[in-house]
Amino acid sequence: MRLPIRGMLALGLAAGLATFASAQEGHPAKGSWIGEWKGNSAGESVLMVMSWDGKSITGIVNPGTDNLKITDAELNPTDWSIHLKAGDYLIDGKFARLELPNRSIVGTWKKGSAGGDFEVVRQ
């Protein structure tokens, strides 16, 4: 089967756009994340929005009542572990399925003497 010139151009353009779109994913922590943290008195659902400005991770954590600004974020690319501080919350996790767009962060959270399991999935 021979494709006309237009068909070959359209096919090439589609392949190029698919490659370009997958290359635009950005920093592994960047994006909106939805999940749960077990045992949190504010509710077990959590929303996180993180950004990367080329130097640091910024964003918010919403434990169900108020947005808490991420005031400290450390990412270790050797083992893809992450440490976040937002308000009184400390979150320690590790990226899972890093190569996929719907990667997750799995770990634990603490707030004072309370704590529990934590998992969010990038949307």
Asked if residue 18 belongs to a domain, the reply is no
**pLDDT tens digits, one per residue of 46-80:** 999 999 888 899 999 987 668 899 999 999 999 99
Asked if residue 73 belongs to a domain, the reply is yes
Asked if residue 76 belongs to a domain, the reply is yes
Structural domain count of the chain: 1
Asked if residue 48 belongs to a domain, the reply is yes
**pLDDT tens digits, one per residue of 75-94:** 999 999 999 999 999 999 99
**pLDDT tens digits, one per residue of 8-29:** 434 444 444 444 344 445 788 9
The two tokens of residue 93 are 């996790």
User: How far from 77 is each of 1, 46, 83, 105, CA to CA, in Å?
Assistant: 47, 24, 12, 14
Asked if residue 7 belongs to a domain, the reply is no
Q: Give me the CATH number covering residue 96.
A: 2.40.128
Decide: 52 and 69 in contact? Cβ < 8 Å.
no
**pLDDT tens digits, one per residue of 89-115:** 999 999 999 888 889 999 999 999 999
Asked if residue 5 belongs to a domain, the reply is no
Range of the domain at 107: 26-122
Burial of 41 (0-12, 13-18, 19+ CB in 10 A): exposed
Asked if residue 84 belongs to a domain, the reply is yes
Instruction: Quote the percentage of the chain above a pLDDT of 90.
Output: 56
Asked if residue 11 belongs to a domain, the reply is no
Q: H/E/C letters for each residue in 74-105? A: EEECCCCEEEEEECCEEEEEEEECCCCCCCEE
